Homo-oligomer: A and B are copies of this chain.
Amino acid sequence: MPDHRTERVGRLSLRMSAEKIDGLLLTSLANIRYLTGFSGTSAIALITPGEVRLITDFRYETQVADEVGDAAKIRIEPVSLWTGLWEMLQKIPSVELIGFESAHVYHRDFQRLLNDGSRWQWRPQLNLVEALRESKDEDEVALIQEAARIATDALTRTLPQISPGQTELQIAGILEKALRDEGSEEAPFPPIVASGPRSALPHARASSREIVRGDLLLIDFGAQHQGYCSDVTRTFMVGIPSPEQREIYQVVRDANHFASHSIRVGMTGMAADALARSYIERCGHGEAFGHSLGHGLGLEVHEAPRLARTAEGALVPGAVVTIEPGIYRPGWGGVRIEDDVHLSENGPRILTNFSRELIEVA
C-alpha cells in the first residue's frame, strides 16, 4: 500500500496555514495514528511545517520504531510526555502560536499548556484532522471492507451455534471467538446481544438473560483490521416470527434498503437521515425510531459525518457511514438492521455482505 502519511500531513499543513498557526499539538490517538501510523495508547504529536514529531513512552520503544519509521521524529520519554514536549518545543524557536485539539485535551492538561507551556501561545482548534479523515482514500475503504468481511463471516460462523437456553453473554462469547478466528484485531466496542424485550433498549449490553423461542435477537457488533472498524447489526428470530414481528421487521428492512441505495454525496446528513425516517413515519412507526440513522466509520467507530436530524453538513465523497434504522417498542422488542456504506462519486457501495431477510435461528 502506498504511504499516505506524507500527503495527509501536507493537506493538514495547508489547513494550519489558513488558521495562521505555527504548529499543531495532537492529543487524539486516532488522529496521531492517521498521520504517523502509531497505534499505541500513549502519545502526543507536534506538527510543524515540514516536520512531524511524536512523543511516546518506553513501553512502546520497539513498536513505535516499527510502525512509524521515518514518518516522524520519535522521542521516547521515561516519565511524562509533557516534559518531552517542553524540551522539544524549546529547540524550535520559530514556533510561537500553537493550535491544540479542544475536543481532545482535558482541562487539567489545558492548565499545563497555560502554566508549564506559558512561553508559547495556545489556540483551541476543532476538527482539523477529523475533517481530513472524513473522506477515505481507496486503501482505507479496502481496510474497512476487510473489517466488514471479518464481521459478517464471524456472524455466519456464529449463527449455527445459537440455540434457545443460551444467555446473551454466551452468544456474545461465541461471536467474539469467531471474530478472532476471522482475524479481528479487537472489538471496536463490546458486542450488543439483546433478546426479547431487551432488544427494545437501543444501547443494551449482553446480559445473563436466556433466549427463548419467540424472541427477537438483536446483535450489534464490529471488527477491526489494521485499526479500521466495521459496525454491523442484524436482528434474528428465535423460532417462528409472529405476524407483528414480521411486519415490523419488514418496515426496518425496507427503510434500510431504501436509505442504503438512495444516499448520495452532496446530500446533507439531515436529508440522508430523512430517507429512512420519513419512510418509517409513513408506516406509522416514527415515534419508535428514536436515534439517528447513522455515523461515519474509520479509525474510530463513531466519527464524522453524522446522519441525523440536526446534521446540516453535506456528505463528502469517500465518506463511509453506517445506515442503521430501527424500531423499538418498550416491553415488546426491537429491530435494527445496520450496514456500512461507502459514498463514492458513482453512488453508494454497501460494504457489509450479509442477508437482510428475517432469519430464524434454532
Contact = CB atoms under 8 A, between A and B. Distances in A.
A218 interface: no
B205 A185 contact: yes
A120 interface: no
Interface residues of A, number: 49
A206 to B, nearest CB: 8
Interface in A77-120: 79, 100, 102-108, 110-111
Given A179-B173, A184-B169, A190-B187, A40 B203 contact: yes
Nearest to A42: B203
A41 interface: yes
A330 interface: yes
Contacts of A172: 180
Interface in A182-200: 183-187, 190, 200
A271 to B, nearest CB: 19
The 3 closest A-B pairs by CB, nearest first: A173-B180, A177-B177, A173-B177
Interface of A: 40-41, 58-60, 62-63, 79, 100, 102-108, 110-111, 124, 126, 169-170, 172-174, 176-181, 183-187, 190, 200-206, 208, 290-291, 310, 330
